Amino acid sequence: MRIRTLYFCYCLSVVGVLLALPATAATPDPWLDHNGRLPARSDHAGPLFKLSHDYPSGLPAPHMPWRTAINNAPIGTSNAAAYTQALKDAVARDMVALLLDEGDWDAGRRGWYNDPWLGAQREAVHGMLVGLERVDDDLFPKSGLTKPFTTYVITYYNRIGAQTLGAIWRDPHNPQLNGGATQYAEGSVTVKLAFTTAGPAEWPAMRGALSWPMMMTANATTGQFERPTLGKAWLMQVDIVVKDTQSAPQTGWVFATLVYDRNTRPGSRGVWDQMVPLGAQWGNDPRVDSAANPGAPLQETWINPSAPLYATETLGWGGRLSGPNDHGVNDISVADVARGGQRVLLRRAGNSSCLSCHGASQWNAANPAKGMASFMMPLVPGDAKAGAPYMNSPAPGSNEWLRWFQNRAGDVAMDTGSMAGDYDLALTFRVLPAWHEAKSGKKHALQKLDAGGVAVQRE
Ligand code: HEC
């Protein structure tokens, strides 16, 4: 009898273990390095991606050479080139190490950090995430792109910025979003690298560009979308953004971007020297009516007059800064009120920019399944199918449209009832949705740029 009972108990505990095991295995690890799909050793002998997440805290204000580069004055169109150059110089040593000397790269030792919760989305070699799954070739008519491409991206935060990641994710299962936890300190710098699967054979603009091997799950250039395959992607764009309320008092941020330029000669830093500024943006120019006057000069965007042609093909609304990786140009559908609401299709409309898109970073804790209360680009709320397959856009320049083109401080949310994300979209568009997905077991609505049932033509 005793033995039977014991046996019975043993059985139960085995069942218990069997039941518990899959559940344990399925609990996602917030600090997962990558998706585990490894290249064959014979194809790739180099190191694999390690997530850098030993976030620091309590750091003093850093040295900010970009401020001194403009004599501690506000940034403007006349000094933005100097400012952008100082930003580029400030990260140069580390970025050269990351880009050109892979074997020696130790992010944490150099003070660069990544976001949690994205491991399942990261490929194994460099920790890259799919940025845009498909960018159509007709988006770049002047620079000879012959195939669509996919972009792969990775983001690194400097020590100052990583303190914010530490504050939010102290308990990775229970993010802290209140009490200013999402706000970045002065001198926070975030760098985002964007690679394209269109190489020199499909896009002359990429001749001589740096390429990285990656385990790709999507490649619109080759048409390969199934099992992970080791492929190459070329470095197209490097974003460098900085929290700097002294230089940019209205938004608190300067968004700068570098793009690969095959016509610039490499110097001692190789391809890094060929990453030239496309421009910088520190406000949305809310008072410049680019709908009435598309060529109106901007005061809060600077575009490098000698930027390569391909990178200027996708500038945002009225020429506001947006790069080839940024989805700032779209075919949009607008209801023409003057003609009884008849729909007009505006092809290749610049409907976004760095700061207008990033200004939509916010999180509604009461509705985490949605998260961001407004879409990132001007969109008429409500009937998601109206205008399909294009974005149902408010008329360019209308009051509704201008909601996206205001200058707000980083702690002021675009919509009331939401927590402001301080212009960080990685947090509200990628990381919080991934965390919520892991927690709820349900697919999150925001994981693609065509969120909310809106088919974005250029995806
Ligand atoms: C139409 C929307 C859109 C535009 C325009 C845009 N971005 Fe982003 N950006 C995103 C999204 C979404 C993410 C987060 C997901 C990812 O990294 O793919 C992001 C991430 C980033 C990051 C990583 C950290 C963070 O703040 O989220 C940086 C840095 C960045 N973008 C810089 C820029 C710069 C510089 C420009 C303009 C040249 C720009 N972005 C234009 C949508 C946009």
Domain limits, the chain: 41-453
Give me ligand 1 centre to Cα 323, in Å: 10
Distances 340 to 291, 335, 359, 391, 401 between C-alpha atoms, Å: 20, 8, 32, 19, 19
Give me ligand 1 centre to Cα 175, in Å: 21
Confidence of residue 20 (pLDDT cuts 50, 70, 90): very low
Whether the CB of 311 sits within 6 Å of ligand 1? no
Cβ atoms of residues 350 and 320 within 8 Å: yes
| Dihedral angle over CA of 369, 113, 152, 31, nearest 10 | -50
First vs last Cα of the chain: how many Å apart? Answer: 67
The whole-angstrom separation of Cα 353 and Cα 376 is 10
Confidence of residue 449 (pLDDT cuts 50, 70, 90): low
Mean pLDDT of 214-220: 96
Question: Measuring from atom 14 of ligand 1, which residue has the nearest CA?
Answer: 426
pLDDT in tens, 256-277: 999 999 999 999 999 999 999 9
- In a 3-state reduction of DSSP, which class is residue 383? coil
Ligand 1 atom with minimal separation from the 256 CA: 35
Confidence of residue 383 (pLDDT cuts 50, 70, 90): confident
> For all residues of the chain together, what is the average pLDDT?
91
Please list the alpha-helical segments (H only) found in 27-79: 65-69
Whether the CB of 161 sits within 6 Å of ligand 1? no
Residue 334 has pLDDT above 90, yes or no: yes
Mean pLDDT of 75-96: 98
Mutate to test the pocket of ligand 1, among 326, 362, 404, 430 (most ligand atoms within 8 A of CB): 326
pLDDT in tens, 273-325: 999 999 999 999 999 999 999 999 999 999 999 999 999 999 999 999 999 99
Mean pLDDT of 143-162: 98
Whether the CB of 323 sits within 6 Å of ligand 1? yes
Residue 119 has pLDDT above 80, yes or no: yes
| pLDDT given at position 448 | 54
Give me ligand 1 centre to Cα 8, in Å: 58
User: Which among 27, 58, 228 is positioned nearest to 128, based on CA atoms?
Assistant: 228
Top pLDDT among 350 and 12 is at: 350
Give me ligand 1 centre to Cα 358, in Å: 6
- In a 3-state reduction of DSSP, which class is residue 125? coil
Give me ligand 1 centre to Cα 83, in Å: 20
Confidence of residue 102 (pLDDT cuts 50, 70, 90): low
pTM of the model: 0.93
